[in-house]
């Protein structure tokens, strides 16, 4: 099994979460004002709680993830949970691919065909998954460096255009928006699912990886602060605020940083898709007890491609799907409920043995 350390996994998780910031949260859920600062904070606390079942599994069944732990006790239940879990991951992959494709057509290549975009993204994701968790996590270090560079350049270049008058002290002003925004924030944390599977690949204590939440929290608050200080109330009208801000940034030879911005997001999303495919590959290997699963990976990637084409081709289906994803149900169910079921099933099995 490909092994990585907890820091590598944490970096991958940071990149995964940041890619969702641009692509998965709809523009109407990024509004001007203090609400989102609190939504980010509360979402992180909720996500930390959702991690608990997966964390308990790593503590209880040392070196095992939920699927291996269940497999040892009930292969049938493991197969069933694996299937449910894979459905959750499939939804997230489809959501990421379609939104990335929309992002590319909305910002860079306006005439890019859906099929072309989806093929390229899925193929890149498949290649990453084929190379394995170690290669993808190493790549995410580069992506994070790019991202940090982008944010630093934006802060430096936009400093004169930041207007402190746009900030105002206040608590949650709009309860309904706050709940929506917080739910969307939670729905972006697909790392929950990755952690449930990849904790078995971490050399040291996998729980150390969760420190990434602190780094993500700080980064997201900084990004939100930049949104508010530069764009002010105009933020309410924008679909991709960071893209607009980066297009305003000029630094010496870099006239407009939106190109770098688009590359970083493309890079980050492909890493996320690769990692999700790695998880599916690992579940398949564990349940079927087969070590070579490249063919399955290729078939599953093709299935994802078909699904993306169906959802992406019809605006009504896409809107309903997006609404469903923003409820955070797939994340909560696959990332927390399934590991919890595995944990309870493991405990009951032990109680029976004890009797």
Partner 1 sequence: MNKLRIAGAVSVLLLVLSLCGCIRYVELSDRAIVQAMGVDYLPDKGIYRISMQYFAQSSEGSKNQIDKTQANVLKSIGEGKSILQAVNNASLLTGKALLLSENRIIILGKEACRLDLKGIMEFFISNFHSHPQTYFACGENTAEEILDIRFKEGYVSSQHLIDIIDNAAALGKSSNEYAYTTMAQLMGGTKSTVLPLLKTEELATDGTIPPGGGNSSGGSGDKKEQQKETTVVPCGVVIFSDGTAKDKADEDVTMGIRLFYNAVEEITITINTDNNRTAALTLYDICTEITPRSIGDTLTFEVNTTAHARFDDRGSIGEVDTKGIEDAISKAESEIEACMKKALDKAKGCRADIFGLENALRNKNPEYYRAVKDNIGDVLFSAEFNLKAKCLPFSLGLQSF
Residues in contact with partner 1 by the rule CB under 8 A: 32, 109, 111-113, 115-116, 119-120, 163-170, 173, 231-234, 236-237, 244, 247-248, 256
Q: Is 156 exposed, middle or buried (0-12, 13-18, 19+ CB in 10 A)?
A: exposed
Cβ distance to partner 1 smaller for residue 59 or 109: 109
Pick between residue 221 and residue 236 the one whose CB is nearest to partner 1: 236
Indicate the residue among 190 and 246 with the shorter CB distance to partner 1: 246
Structure tokens at 60: 């209880």
CA 64, 68, 72, 78 torsion-angle sign: positive
As measured in angstroms, the least distance from the Cβ of 170 to partner 1 is 5
Task: List the beta strands (DSSP E) in 213-274.
Answer: 250-251, 254-255
Dihedral angle sign, alpha carbons of residues 143, 148, 151, 157: negative
DSSP assignment letter at 171? S
Give min distance, CB of 111 to partner 1, in A: 4
Closer Cβ to partner 1, 116 or 319, answer by number: 116
Least distance in angstroms from the C-beta of 225 to partner 1:
15
Least distance from C-beta 263 to partner 1, angstroms?
A: 16
Residue 92 contacts by C-beta under 8 Å, 6 or more apart in sequence? 190, 193, 276, 325, 330, 331
CA atoms of 55 and 53, how far apart (whole Å): 5
Residue of 336, 277, 341 whose CA lies nearest to 96? 277
Taking Cα atoms as reference points, which of 312, 311, 316, 276 lies closest to residue 297?
A: 276
CB of 55 to partner 1, least distance (A): 39
Nearer to partner 1, 10 or 308 (CB): 308
In the bound complex, what is the minimum distance in angstroms from residue 236's beta carbon to partner 1? Answer: 6
The residue among 34 and 346 lying less far from partner 1, judged by its C-beta, is: 34
Three-state secondary-structure class, residue 340: helix
């Amino acid at each position: 099994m490909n092994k990585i350390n907890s820091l590598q996994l944490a970096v991958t998780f940071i990149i995964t979460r940041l890619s969702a910031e641009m692509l998965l949260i709809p523009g109407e859920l990024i509004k001007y004002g203090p609400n989102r600062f609190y939504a980010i904070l509360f979402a992180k606390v909720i996500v930390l709680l959702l991690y608990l079942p997966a964390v308990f599994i790593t503590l209880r069944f040392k070196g095992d993830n939920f699927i291996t732990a269940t497999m040892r006790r009930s292969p049938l239940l493991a197969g069933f949970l694996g299937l449910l879990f894979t459905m959750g991951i499939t939804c997230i992959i489809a959501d990421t691919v379609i939104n990335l494709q929309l992002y590319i057509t909305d910002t860079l290549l306006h005439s890019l065909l859906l099929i072309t975009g989806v093929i390229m993204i899925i193929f890149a994701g498949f290649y990453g998954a084929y190379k394995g968790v170690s290669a993808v996590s190493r790549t995410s270090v580069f992506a994070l460096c790019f991202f940090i560079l982008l944010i630093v350049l934006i802060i430096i270049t936009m400093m004169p255009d930041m207007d402190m008058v746009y900030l105002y002290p206040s608590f949650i002003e709009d309860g309904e928006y706050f709940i929506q925004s917080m739910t969307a924030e939670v729905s972006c944390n697909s790392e929950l699912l990755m952690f449930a599977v990849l904790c078995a690949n971490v050399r040291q204590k996998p729980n150390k990886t969760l420190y990434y939440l602190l780094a993500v929290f700080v980064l997201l608050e900084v990004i939100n602060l930049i949104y508010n200080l530069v764009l002010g109330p105009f933020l309410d009208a924008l679909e991709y605020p960071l893209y607009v801000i980066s297009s305003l940034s000029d630094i010496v030879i870099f006239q407009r940083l939106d190109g770098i911005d688009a590359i970083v997001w493309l890079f980050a999303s492909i890493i996320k898709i690769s990692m999700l495919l790695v998880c599916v590959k690992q579940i398949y290997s564990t349940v079927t007890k087969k070590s070579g699963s490249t063919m399955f990976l290729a078939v599953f990637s093709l299935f994802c491609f078909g699904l993306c084409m169906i959802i992406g081709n019809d605006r009504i289906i896409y809107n309903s799907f997006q609404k469903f994803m923003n409820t955070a149900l797939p994340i909560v169910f696959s990332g927390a409920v399934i590991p919890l079921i595995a944990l309870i099933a493991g405990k009951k099995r032990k109680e029976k043995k004890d009797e």
